[in-house]
Structure formats: C-alpha cells, structure tokens
A = this chain, B = another copy of it.
Amino acid sequence: MSETDHPAGPRSAVRLVDNMRFRQTFRRIPAPVAVVLVATANGGTTGITCTSAQSLSAEPPMAVVAIDDKTGLVPLIRHAGRFSINYLAADRSNWADAFSARGADLAELADIIVPGRTSVPTFATGTTAVLECASAEIHPGGDHWIVSGAIAHARFQADAEPLLYRAGAYGAFRPGGDSVRSDHAAVVPTG
C-alpha cells in the first residue's frame, strides 16, 4: 500500500517501498553505534557515526559497514586504504552526537583520538571494541557504499557496555536468555 515506482536499478518495473515506510520499519530495529574514523590527506581525522558496522568474515577476519555517500567519507577511505570502526560504550552517546555533526565540541574529542597499532586513527577510550581495517573493498549500495575491510588489529574493553540505537533513542543491551547459536542452513518443508 505504501509503494512507489522507482526509476533506478536493473529492474525498473519493480515497485519499491516508499521512504516513510522504509524509515518506520528500520526504526523498529536496534543496532550498535560505532564511529568510523579515517585519516585525511592533511594529517587530520574525519569520522561519522553509523549503526551499520558488523562482522563480515572470520577467515580472513573482515568487517563491513554501510556509509552514506553524502558524508563524503568514502573517497577518504578509498585514498587512505584503511579505516577504523570504534564501537562506542553506552555512556558515550555524546560522542555519537558529535560525529553526527550535532554541534558538540570536536576540538575536545581530538585528545582522545590516537594512532592505533596500524597507525589508523582510533578512539583511545570510550569504546567496547575497536577494529583497525587494513584494506577497503567498496561496493555500491544505493545512496550508501558498502565498505568492507580486513581486520589487522582488534581490541575490546570487556567491562564496557555497548551503546545501542533504536527509534531515535540510545539504549543498551538487556540480557534475557542463555542460548547459543551458530549459522547453519535449515530446510523447512513448506509450499
């Protein structure tokens, strides 16, 4: 019911969901909050807050993140050939705001950005996990880019709660079970 024609893509006849329905739906889905950092050509650091950074591959170890084209970060990543993913701790939503350009004092944050093991800029504190990616494969993804990278170094803070985001609000993980799962295909006899 909330679908519109969309001119782009190889299947232009397919009606896609409209923008409002798209946003309403993804507001239901919580995601961890990370800041992607990359070095600029002039020796500075640029970063954006995102909620799309995920594990990709175990062998080789890789991570993947979707980056909005309009942030301008992807050309910098392409040039640098490396980037870091900094998963924020639950008490650092102010940093998430800062890297969303919502008016925080960025000069204040400069003190906590340090070169990582592989010299890529990383957060020194305030994270649950930091991944240093030593390469960047970039694939198109609509108005975003899919950026994957091989993980050259990883560190984590075992006692830090991760910051989550859902429906316009920050939050945290509330444990509510003890099951363990792994990814395997299962065939369901339907149809």
Residue positions of A touching B, CB distance < 8 A: 3, 6, 8-11, 14-19, 21-26, 28-32, 39-40, 43-52, 54-62, 64, 66, 68, 70-73, 87, 90, 93, 96-102, 106-107, 109-110, 113, 121, 128-129, 131, 134-135, 137, 139, 141-144, 146, 148, 150-158, 160, 162, 164-166, 168-191
Q: Which residues of B contact A178 (CB under 8 A)?
A: 168-170
A190 touches which one: B54, B71, B121 (CB < 8 A)? B121
Known: A71-B185, A164-B173, A187-B46. A156 touches B24 (CB 8 A): yes
A176 touches B170 (CB 8 A): yes
- In the assembled complex, the CB of A123 is this many whole angstroms from the nearest CB of chain B, namely 11
Which listed residue, B25, B47, B56, touches A186 by the CB 8 Å rule?
B47
Closest chain B residue to A104 by CB distance? Answer: B186
- Which 9 A-B residue pairings sit nearest by Cβ, starting from the closest? A57-B142, A170-B177, A101-B184, A174-B174, A43-B191, A100-B181, A22-B61, A25-B154, A71-B185
- Taking a contact as CB atoms under 8 Å apart, the answer to whether A171 and B176 are in contact is yes
Bound complex: CA A134 to CA B60 (Å): 30
Whether A11 contacts B135 by the Cβ 8 Å rule is yes
Known: A56-B146, A131-B25. A49 touches B174 (CB 8 A): no
Q: Please, how many angstroms separate the alpha-carbon atoms of A188 and B46 in the complex?
A: 6
A66 to chain B, nearest CB (A): 5
Q: Which residues of B contact A154 (CB under 8 A)?
A: 17, 21-22, 24-25
Q: Which residues of B contact A151 (CB under 8 A)?
A: 16-17, 22
Tell whether, in the assembled complex, residue B61 and residue A52 are in contact, meaning their CB atoms are under 8 Å apart: no
Could you tell me if B49 and A183 are in contact, using CB atoms closer than 8 angstroms?
yes
* A66 touching B49, Cβ below 8 Å: no
Measured CB to CB, the closest approach of chain B to A44, in angstroms, equals: 6
